[in-house]
């Protein structure tokens, strides 16, 4: 089974499209937790524990671990090992480099760190993405239209559509997906039209306040394509008190339900 | 002084435009060195020792360290600490992500790892690059036209010129540069025309056999702009015997001389 077949089964059996991003920031982590490698891991595992029933996947963001140096990389690896079996992990790494270096990055994310899927950047073209696609049992989400203001600089008006078209052509193993931001839901229909059945990873509905209903309408497009709605900060930092994990669980449940409710009225 | 003012002084006083890329691959490292963290560091420090008189900067490529996990990150950090004072280090990380995550990547490369400059990818636009530019004493080389085959997929015919133009506009602190591959020397003149005095980091003259003379002609364009010609594999793996470091030194000296000779006949 490909990563996306597994993901589709999981979404339909567990009835959730939610992806929770794990972006730990010292300044936002509850004060009662120690500022150590152990404190960080404890914070994340408590979040995982309280949200796991509501998520399809977790998505740790590499930047927030790398900034802590080698010990951050150790926490990331241990975190992934301890995420319950059956919940896939997307390594949000936004990697992208030429041929041989891309092989090293792919090996690093999939083998050394142990992720089931990855985010990558398309600027350098096919030979920069191919080593990721070559891991045919893993998922590869290519940046297409991002949720940040700077998406207008190069991605719009046309580049994101060129990327969708090319990735669709390159997707011979059925393991490619696209990152499409919910803050630009008016553009998602066009990307869906070009990209056929490719799954979307959709950030921007939480703190960035993307528009949920249209996002779902255009991402789904009447078919049973798996896709993921990501939220990070709105769940991780739902509370900064001792009840942070419980509040994160509540926020995750609420967003899962909101997505499902929205879907049922599309 | 900005990074590029320092770099310019260094290039003119030391009379070298050479950047040596440090991309360590187990399979290519001489067999007599142990396959350990210490063996890797020894290999790299011996290369640094024998090439340091001929280079303007060193450029470790993060992928080759990350693939070894936390211990690879430790080697990278120790390597950078041990590169002789006065030789700047470009972290070849090709990072790129939205606002707050970009801040974490910038802090990671400049503070945690300790690089003087970095390579970044422009796909997500200004707010993904700004946190790097905000380190005004560091250099930020933005991917523009890369040396790999996949550059034709999105960068050509126009995107690389749009990137050059935008980065030129965003370069308010004078710390932005561009990555422009020597394998496309016919396109370098147009990038130079748009980008004014921005320094170039130019890969592709070593193993990738880019055309040196035209590259220099168009990169320089009659002015005293600092730029860098990078070679990695052709120097690092000049020999796989016990004389590997000495041969790397010879290869670095030869390329430095070839660049200077070429420049004197432009």
Question: Each residue of B143-197: pLDDT tens digit?
Answer: 999 999 999 999 999 999 999 999 999 999 999 999 999 988 889 999 999 999 9
Q: What is the pLDDT of residues A48-64, one digit of tens each?
A: 999 999 999 999 999 99
A97/B101 Cα distance (integer angstroms): 19
Sole residue written with tokens 């998520």: A55
Residue A137's pLDDT is 97
pLDDT band at residue B209, thresholds of 50, 70 and 90?
low
Per DSSP, which regions of chain B are E strands?
A: 18-22, 57-60, 90-95, 117-120, 139-145, 176-180, 200-202, 228-231
Cα B18 from chain centroid?
Answer: 9
The CA-to-CA distance between both ends of chain B, in Å, stands at 30
Contact criterion met (CB < 8 Å) for A99 and B166: no
CA-based nearest residue in chain B for residue A170: B153
Determine the distance in angstroms separating the CA of A106 from the nearest CA of chain B, rounded to an integer.
Answer: 9
Give the SS3 label for residue A19: strand
Residue-averaged pLDDT of chain A: 95
Q: How confident is the model at residue B10 (pLDDT cuts 50, 70, 90)?
A: very high
Average pLDDT (A136-146) is 98
- Residue ranges and CATH numbers for the domains of chain A are 3-264 (3.20.20.70)
- Residue B125 has its nearest CB partner, among A99, A122, A151, at A151
* Whether B47 contacts B13, CB under 8 Å: no
Structure tokens at A232: 């990070």
pLDDT class for A65, splitting at 50, 70, 90? very high
Residue in A80, A150, A179 to test binding to B, most B beta-carbons within 10 Å: A150
What is the band of A118 on the pLDDT scale with cuts at 50, 70, 90? very high
- Give residue B26's pLDDT: 87
Mean pLDDT of A99-112: 96
Asked if A244 and A238 touch (Cβ cutoff 8 Å), the reply is: yes
* Parallel/antiparallel/unpaired status of strands B228-231 and B18-22: parallel
From A70, A96, A125, residue closest to B70, measured CB to CB: A70
Residue B179 forms beta bridges with which residues?
B143, B201
Residue B124 has its nearest CB partner, among A61, A97, A150, at: A150
pLDDT in the model for residue A207: 64
pLDDT of residue B205: 85
Q: How far apart are CA A83 and CA A74, in angstroms?
A: 14
More confident residue, A133 or B208: A133
User: pLDDT (tens digit, 9 = 90+) per residue, B28-78?
Assistant: 999 999 999 999 999 999 999 999 999 999 999 999 999 999 999 999 999
C-alpha distances out from residue A11 to A17, A110, A122, A147, B156, Å? 6, 22, 27, 23, 39
Please give the residue of chain B at the shortest CA–CA distance from A26. Answer: B104
Mean of the per-residue pLDDT values for chain B? 95
Residue B234 binned pLDDT confidence (cut-offs 50, 70, 90):
very high
- A98 neighbourhood in chain B, CB within 8 Å: 146-148, 150
Residue from A77, A124, A157 to probe the interface with B (highest B Cβ count within 10 Å)? A124
Tens of pLDDT, residues A166-184: 999 999 999 999 999 998 8
> Distance, in angstroms, between A26 CA and closest chain B CA?
11
What is the 8-class DSSP label of residue A116?
Answer: S
Å between A264 CA and nearest CA of chain B: 32
Residues B202, B234: Cα–Cα separation, whole Å: 15
Average pLDDT over residues B114-130: 98
Half-sphere exposure at residue B196, Cβ-oriented, CA atoms within 13 angstroms: 10
Task: Determine the pLDDT at residue A219.
Answer: 87
Q: Mind telling me the catalytic residues of A?
A: 94
pLDDT at A228 over 70: yes
Give residue A208's pLDDT.
Answer: 64
């Amino acid at each position: 089974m490909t990563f996306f077949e597994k993901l589709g089964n999981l979404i339909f059996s567990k009835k959730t499209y939610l992806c929770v991003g794990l972006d730990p920031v010292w300044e936002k982590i509850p004060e009662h937790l120690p500022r150590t490698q152990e404190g960080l891991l404890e914070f994340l595992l408590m979040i995982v524990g309280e949200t796991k029933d509501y998520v399809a996947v977790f998505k740790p963001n590499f930047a927030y671990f790398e900034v802590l140096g080698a010990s951050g990389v150790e926490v990331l690896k241990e975190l992934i090992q301890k995420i319950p079996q059956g919940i896939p992990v997307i390594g949000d790494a936004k990697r992208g480099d030429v041929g041989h270096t891309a092989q090293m990055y792919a090996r690093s994310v999939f083998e050394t760190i142990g992720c089931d899927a990855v985010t990558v950047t398309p600027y350098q073209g096919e030979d920069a993405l191919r080593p990721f696609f070559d891991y045919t049992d893993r998922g590869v989400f290519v940046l297409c239209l991002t949720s940040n203001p700077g998406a207008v600089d190069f991605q719009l008006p046309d580049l994101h559509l060129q990327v969708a078209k090319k990735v669709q052509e390159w997707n011979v193993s059925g393991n490619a997906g696209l990152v499409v931001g919910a803050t630009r839901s008016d553009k998602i229909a066009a990307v869906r039209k070009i990209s056929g059945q490719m799954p979307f990873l959709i950030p921007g509905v939480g703190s960035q306040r993307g528009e949920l209903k249209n996002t779902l309408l255009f991402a789904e497009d009447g078919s049973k394509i798996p896709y993921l709605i990501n939220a990070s900060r709105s769940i991780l930092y739902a509370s900064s008190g001792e009840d942070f994990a419980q509040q994160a669980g509540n926020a995750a449940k609420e967003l899962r339900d909101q997505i499902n409710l929205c879907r049922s009225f599309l």
